[in-house]
Amino acid sequence: MNTDETAKALGLLPEELQKIRDTLGREPNFTELSAYSAMWSEHCSYKNSIVWLKTLPKDGERMLAKAGEENAGLVDLGDGLGCVFKIESHNHPSAIEPYQGAATGVGGINRDIFTMGARPVAQLNSLRFGDLSQERNRQLLRGVVRGIGDYGNAFGVPVVGGEVYFDECYNINPLVNAMSVGLVARDKTMSASAHGADNPVYIVGSRTGKDGIHGASFASKDLTEDSADDLPSVQVGDPFQEKLLLEASLEAIATGALIGMQDMGAAGIICSTSEMSAKGGAGMEIHLDLVPTRQEGMHAWEILLSESQERMLLVCERGHEKEIEAVFDRWDLQCVNIGTVTDTQLLRFHMHGELVAELPAESLVLGGGAPVYHREYAEPAYREAIRNFDPQTIPVPRDLQAVMDHLAGHPNLCSKRWVYEQYDHMVGTTHMTAVQQAAAAVVDVRGTEKALVLSVDCNPRYTYADPYTGAAIAVAEAARNVVCAGGDPVAITNCLNFGNPYNPGVYWQFVEAIRGMGDACRAFNTPVTGGNVSFYNQSSFEGPVFPTPVIGMLGVMDDKRQFTTLAFRQAGDFIYLIGRSSGDISGSQYLYSFHGRKDSGAPPFSLADECALHAVLREMRGRVCLESLQDVSDGGLFTALLECALPGRLGFEVVADLDVRRDAYWFGEAQGRVILSIDPLEEELLLKYLQRSALPWCKLGVVTTCEIRIDGQNHQSVAHYAGLYENSLGDAMWQDD
């Protein structure tokens, strides 16, 4: 194969090959082409997305490391503490090998946290699968959940929250997004930078094997019938090794002898060496034959691009080699000096004394020489049907019982107990919502009065119907969840899952979602700290998945006494609804699955009303004693009431607003609404705040002992709904294959 054919086979465009030639001033060899192929893949370079990502807000008073500056976002918590957090995808590997794909996704995102000096304290995930009636989708779900559980449980960090969503658009291409959150002393953080000529470069952790080679390139193309042939691109994880690496890395950082450290994730050694060198304005001389390997006879390009897990690249100050080596020796981990930092800004890779690649570090990386593209986009044709949707063509059911049963047992709305019972959510004992459920996960910050409040959100029905509004709703719902639990939203990370960016319709979805996300983040003053773009989530025979921009929201609770659960506390408490109800059933699970109509728009949403709602809730905090607080979202008002009632096996008696279409009132998903319960003795104080607000509100009803009465009619027992809500997913998973 000549150079042009080799470059094409590696996924490089003709203009990219020419740029490489111009940069090097010569013909690249195979190892060098392989390096550029990995580093200029969408997964590493964001070449098709960075022009729009730069429009997102990234400044904020709490920001200690802005988007793109480090491996993850770093936010000031006060009291000398920082919070490091990030979400990333592992979609394609999970579609091919769900167990290892999900497990290594968890391992990789945790390394991004502790490579900055933070100890991971919480994990969340956002999972998307296809129709559960298909055996393959059940197998994928089993494998992914087992992979997350086995790796996370062994690593020893609790899974405190997440979401699981099902739709046939994910039949071929599931989405597996993992989020990790860590705590660090502000003066103990570590940067992913290399500088200082002659400082030694170490590879630490596991040996390097052939797993994961060209994994970044694999993640930057569509799934096809031949994707199973890419199985070697899926990494293999070892959580026990990762636990050792965590402790050794934090101990090494504490010595003060390290210059910089970076996880070897996507693209392996070439990624870590190029990004650390480019950031520090340095170069490196690396001897690949010194890298400890699992197999004999590995080629230089294989060592360079391997994505074997549980590895780090670190640079220490010359003269402190023995100190760093002793740390990793105590933890029984490989720690091998494979080269030195130079002041040349060149990466020079040697194999058995032969120079096999020489590359300018800056030319490889995002923000340096990596290509940047402005892709064409156009509104897709399906939007015409959405604009023409008429809700009046949908009949209002005479009896709502069938709808209630359908929603209570729907996989998107029912309890995900079958999933979370496979996770250790109590390890570390900081998870405050493990027993008392809340709208968001709450994690204790030991030794302070503070807690972290965490949420992941995205409704892909909304973002498919209207990407701008849907993405704004994802931010708003994540923020609303944080506020309902008692926290203040401070920043987000995102995982942007879309189809092929060369498809103008897909790219239009991406652009609109970025616009909506940006506007919402500016409204809530929640800067974007970074995250992940995952394009090519589509198959050659089923097309792209729904646009799925997942939002990971970080909130801070400055006083743990502000913690508010979602569960009704006692019969006789009053139930109030705050927010604007609507007669519009667009975008609802009720319309989508009960009526089978998939051509409606996003539900009603007002960013101004949402901000006003959050302001009212914060104003009442600490002044009005709320027994429970829950947001109204997927499944509508009925589902929210059910989620509040079931933990304590209490019921509710409520009445609809007669001016609103009845099915829309109970099952519509108009945004910017919450329900709360309150002791009757507190009602007068609550009304003072509500009457000052410009938002609509009403007294919805009362908490009962066990009965459920809606609009004066009895609707089964709490036990009936508990059976549907708590068992439906497990029943679906264990049906006969």
Catalytic residues: 43, 90
Nearest Cα neighbor of 298 from 211, 382, 418 is 211
Residue 636, token pair as written in the block? 């509508």
Q: Which residues pair with 311 in a beta bridge?
A: 205
Strand ranges (DSSP E) for 604-669?
626-631, 651-654
Nearest Cα neighbor of 484 from 620, 585, 304, 296 is 620
DSSP 3-state assignment of 702? strand
Count each helix (H run) and each strand (E run) in the chain, helices first: 26, 27
Residue 637, token pair as written in the block? 């008002």
Q: Which residues pair with 496 in a beta bridge?
A: 533, 549
**For residues 550 and 456, what is the distance between their CA atoms, to the nearest angstrom?**
7
Q: CB-based contacts of 2: which residues, under 8 Å, 6+ apart?
A: none
Q: Are 376 and 506 in contact (CB under 8 A)?
A: no
Residue 458, token pair as written in the block? 């995205």
Question: How many CB atoms are located within 10 Å of the residue 704 CB?
Answer: 19
Q: CB-based contacts of 676: which residues, under 8 Å, 6+ apart?
A: 575, 576, 578, 626, 627, 628, 629, 630
Distances (CA, A) of 321 to 170, 264, 318, 658: 49, 21, 7, 76
Helices 98-114, 239-254: inter-axial angle, 10-degree rounding: 10
Half-sphere exposure of 90 (CA within 13 A, CB side): 31
What are the two backbone dihedrals, phi and then psi, of residue 399, each rounded to the nearest 5 degrees? -115, 120
